[in-house]
Copies of this chain bind each other. A is one copy, B any other.
Amino acid sequence: MSVFLEKIASRGYKITPPRRLILKVMEEKKVPLTAEDIAREIKKERPEISLATVYRNLNLLVEMDLVNKFHGGGEAALYQLSWEHEHYMICLICGKVINLTFCPLKEEINDVALQYDFMIKSHYFQINGYCGACKQKSGIGG
């Protein structure tokens, strides 16, 4: 059983088909997805699973810190498994996501936290800009 399902069970939540499928899709795709993306993918196997259920479970996963929620260029929120502690650069035009292979947060932050008696629990970065393709297409200097 995946570490995610284990955590869900260990907190007394039930392991249901929608939960299995949501996690399966996120593990397979690896990139940040909208709730709709996930629902669409799931419906290929189980068309009766509703979008509301996907949202409900994504919120649960975010609360449990198993999933990170953030916004890219578009209006809809993006969700990604948090186990890898990843950061990205997101194209504001096409939504392309470039994963970073390191955490771009300066270690200095820990000194500041200590100084203010602040306990850092999580952090997330959003680096917005234009990918090469969109720069060209839209004639933005570069």
* Interface residues in chain A, defined as those with a beta carbon under 8 Å from any beta carbon in chain B: 70-71, 77, 89, 91-92, 98, 100, 102, 104-106, 108-109, 112-113, 116-132, 135, 140, 142
Contacts and interface: CB of A to CB of B under 8 A. Distances in A.
A119 B124 CA distance: 20
A131 B116 CA distance: 8
Given A106-B104, A106-B106, A112-B100, A121 B130 contact: yes
B132 A128 contact: no
A117 B131 contact: yes
A129 B124 contact: no
A131 B118 contact: yes
A116 B128 contact: no
Nearest to A68: B128
Given A128-B122, A140-B119, A108 B113 contact: no
A112 B131 CA distance: 12
A117 B104 contact: no
Contact of A71 (B71, B112, B132, B142): B71
Contacts of A119: 129-130, 135, 140, 142
A129 B117 contact: no
B118 A123 contact: no
